Chain A
Amino acid sequence: MKVIIMGCGRVGAQLAAMLEAEEHKITVLDIDANSFRRLPHNFEGTALVGDGTDADTLKKAGIEEADAFVAVTQGDNRNVMAAQIAKVIYKVPRVVCRIYDPLRKDVYETVGLEAISPTTVFAQLLREKLMSL
C-alpha cells in the first residue's frame, strides 16, 4: 500500500517505521526537515519537505496514486484541511486524521471524515488504568 504521512513528529515517525516494516511504501511530509531525524536510520521511503495543505505539495508527494493518507501534524486545522483535500479532491480511498479537540472531531465525524482524538482516547485509557488498580 502507498501511504502518505503528513507530520513527522513522534507519532508520524513511529507510524512510518511500523508501516515500512510491513512492506508498505511510505512518503513522509513535514514543513521542517529537522523532523526527519526521528525516522529510523534505515528508512527507505521518501521524506519530503513541504506543506501538506498545499495541493501542489501533495501532488509532488504522489497523492494521486496514494492508497492512504494520514494527517498527524500538531495543528488540528492543518490536519483537517489536508485530510479533506486528500479525500474530496484527490479521492484517496483511506484517509485518517488526528484532531486533538474532541468537539471539533465530532463535527468532522458527522460529515464523514475519519478522525481520532488523542485527548479522548488518552483520557479513557487513564480512567481504565485508575479503575483497575
Chain B
Amino acid sequence: MYIVIVGGGSVGYYLARALLGEGHEVLVMDKDPLKCERFKDELGSVCIRGDGCEVTTLAEVGTSRAEVFIATTDQDEDNLVACQVAKYKFEVPRTIARLNNPKNAHIFTKLGVDCTISVIDLILRHIEEEIPAHPLVHLATVEEEKAEIVEVEVGEGTRAAGKKVKDLSIPPDTTLALLIRYGEKPQTLKADTVLQANDRIIAVTSVDSEQALRDEFAGS
C-alpha cells in the first residue's frame, strides 16, 4: 500500500519506520532539510524536502495513487490543509490528521478529514481508566451527534447512593442506559431502581453535561 506522510518529526519518523517494516511503500515530506537528511541516513531515500500543503509537491510524489495520507506536523492548520488538498485535489480515499489541540476533532471531521488522532485525548483516556477513583470514564464518542457514552460509578456516601433513579437530578440530554452491579446480570434502569454504592452505570450524555453527571454521582 502506498502511504504519504507529511511531517518528518518524531511522529512521522517512527510511523514511517513502522510502516516500512510492515512492507508498505512510504513517502515522507518535510520542509526542513536536516530532518530529510536524518531519514536518508537511517531509512534510505524515503523523504522528500517540500511543503506537504502544496499542490505541485503533492503531484510530484504521486499523491493521487496513495491509499492513505497522514499529516503529522505540530501545526493543526497545516495538517488540516494537507489532508484537504490530498482529498479534494488528489482524491486520496483515507486521510488521517494528528491533532495538537484535541478540541479540533469535531471541526476536522466536519471539514472532511476521515480520521483524527489526538495524543492528549489518548493519554487522558488512559489516566481515567487507570485510576479507579475517577468517577467518570469515557467509553466512546458519537461524533455526529456530539454525544458520548460514559461509565459512572456511584461513590460510597455520595448523595446518589441509596436514591431511586427518578429522584436523581440528571441533565435533560443524558440517558442512564445500563446498571452493572457486582454479582448481578447487567440490567436496564427503571424509575424506582434504588442505587447502591459501587454500582456502575453506562450512560449516554454530552460534553456539556459531563460535569453535572459527575457531581451527581460523586458529590455528597
Contacts and interface: CB of A to CB of B under 8 A. Distances in A.
Given A103-B54, A103-B56, A107-B55, A80 B81 contact: yes
A65 interface: no
Given A85-B107, A89-B107, A101-B54, A107 B80 contact: no
A56 to B, nearest CB: 8
Contacts of A64: none
Which secondary structure dominates chain A's binding surface? helix
A106 B75 CA distance: 22
B178 interface: no
Interface string A67-102: 000000001111011001100110000000000010
B182 interface: no
Contacts of A108: 84
A107 B103 CA distance: 26
Given A54-B101, A89-B107, A107-B55, A81 B88 contact: no
Contact of B89 (A56, A76, A78, A107): A107
| Contact residues on A (Cβ < 8 Å of other chain), bracket | 20 to 34
B81 A77 contact: yes
Contacts of B78: 77
B111 A75 contact: no
A42 interface: no
B67 interface: no
B80 A81 contact: yes
A111 B77 contact: no
Contacts of A81: 76-77, 80-81
Interface residues of B, number: 20
B92 interface: no
Nearest to B79: A77
Contacts of A15: none
A55 interface: yes
B31 interface: no
A53 B54 contact: no
- Most chain A beta carbons < 10 A, residue from B53, B77, B88, B110: B77
A76 B85 CA distance: 13
Nearest to B78: A77
A54 B101 CA distance: 9
Contacts of B85: 104, 107
A132 interface: no
Nearest to A106: B55
Given A104-B53, A104-B54, A104-B55, A75 B110 contact: no
A16 to B, nearest CB: 23
Contact of B110 (A54, A78, A89, A111): A89
12 contacts: A53-B76, A54-B101, A55-B104, A80-B80, A80-B84, A81-B77, A81-B80, A81-B81, A101-B54, A107-B55, A107-B85, A111-B84
Interface of A: 53-56, 75-78, 80-81, 84-85, 88-89, 101, 103-104, 106-108, 110-111
